Chain A
Amino acid sequence: KAGVTQTPRYLIKTRGQQVTLSCSPISGHRSVSWYQQTPGQGLQFLFEYFSETQRNKGNFPGRFSGRQFSNSRSEMNVSTLELGDSALYLCASSLGTGGNVNTEAFFGQGTRLTVV
């Protein structure tokens, strides 16, 4: 069974530009979560989508947005890029039933974004 696929793997953008990252979850998984990983802040939750709806959102500015399509693929967008947005962006896929059910999250390889 194919794992979580994130594209592109590497990206270099200039301050002020915008960027779109893509994530294809494991087949049958309906939840996609996004995380930002930086050396200083570690892994921080951005948002989660389930059945095309944003179900949960972390503490990030409105420049960070996302969406999910009917086939569960998800994209995240960052507008007006800042140097501090340089990070590894990780996508996690799960069945996503939430609550007290174990919903193991499987991560993709990540997209390394560098803002110059």
Chain B
Amino acid sequence: GEDVEQSLFLSVREGDSSVINCTYTDSSSTYLYWYKQEPGAGLQLLTYIFSNMDMKQDQRLTVLLNKKDKHLSLRIADTQTGDSAIYFCAEKGQAGTALIFGKGTTLSVSS
């Protein structure tokens, strides 16, 4: 079956790098996504990676994909207090466009 796992909490200091990890089980996943959710808000698409890529960089965000280990990570460089939020990893499952989400990682950034 399809399942996505994430660690629940991450605490970093402002200016440090944050690394949020995710593992998934569906080896046929074609796209993997990172979403951000701030309190009281919906989900904001941050970035995505196609399954034939190893890495994607977008400004402060770097996504690494290890397809062999089914491991995905999101690195946020120079983390700011405004980055405090819940980060969700999601895979596009076998069925159409349905997304399978992890439970989310709460990132807390202290100044």
Residue positions of A touching B, CB distance < 8 A: 4, 6, 31, 33, 35, 42-45, 48, 50, 55-56, 58, 90, 92, 94, 96, 98, 100, 102-110
Residue in contact with B96 in the complex, picked from A44, A92, A98, A109, CB distance below 8 Å = A98
Determine the distance from Cα of A90 to Cα of B33 in the docked complex, in whole angstroms: 17
Given A90-B43, A100-B30, A110-B42: A48 and B98 interface contact (C-beta under 8 Å): yes
B103 to chain A, nearest CB (A): 4
Given A102-B31, A102-B48: A48 and B42 interface contact (C-beta under 8 Å): no
Determine the distance from Cα of A93 to Cα of B50 in the docked complex, in whole angstroms: 20
Establish whether residues A109 and B41, one from each chain, have CB atoms under 8 Å apart when the complex forms. Answer: yes
Residue B27 at the chain A interface, CB threshold 8 Å: no
Establish whether residues B99 and A105, one from each chain, have CB atoms under 8 Å apart when the complex forms. Answer: yes
Given A106-B45, A109-B41: A33 and B31 interface contact (C-beta under 8 Å): no
Given A31-B97, A42-B103, A103-B97: A90 and B88 interface contact (C-beta under 8 Å): no
B20 to chain A, nearest CB (A): 15
Chain B, range 82-106, C-beta contacts under 8 Å to A = 88, 92, 95-104
Does more than half of chain B's interface fall in helix, strand or loop, or is it mixed? strand
Establish whether residues B97 and A105, one from each chain, have CB atoms under 8 Å apart when the complex forms. Answer: yes
B43: A residues at CB distance < 8 A: 90, 92, 107
Establish whether residues B42 and A108, one from each chain, have CB atoms under 8 Å apart when the complex forms. Answer: yes
Determine the distance from Cα of A107 to Cα of B36 in the docked complex, in whole angstroms: 11
A10 to chain B, nearest CB (A): 10
Establish whether residues A107 and B42, one from each chain, have CB atoms under 8 Å apart when the complex forms. Answer: yes
Establish whether residues B97 and A107, one from each chain, have CB atoms under 8 Å apart when the complex forms. Answer: no
User: Which residue of chain A lies nearest to B100 when distances are taken between CB atoms in the complex?
Assistant: A45
A43 to chain B, nearest CB (A): 4
Determine the distance from Cα of A96 to Cα of B92 in the docked complex, in whole angstroms: 12
Establish whether residues A55 and B45, one from each chain, have CB atoms under 8 Å apart when the complex forms. Answer: no
Establish whether residues B98 and A56, one from each chain, have CB atoms under 8 Å apart when the complex forms. Answer: yes
A104: B residues at CB distance < 8 A: 33, 45, 48
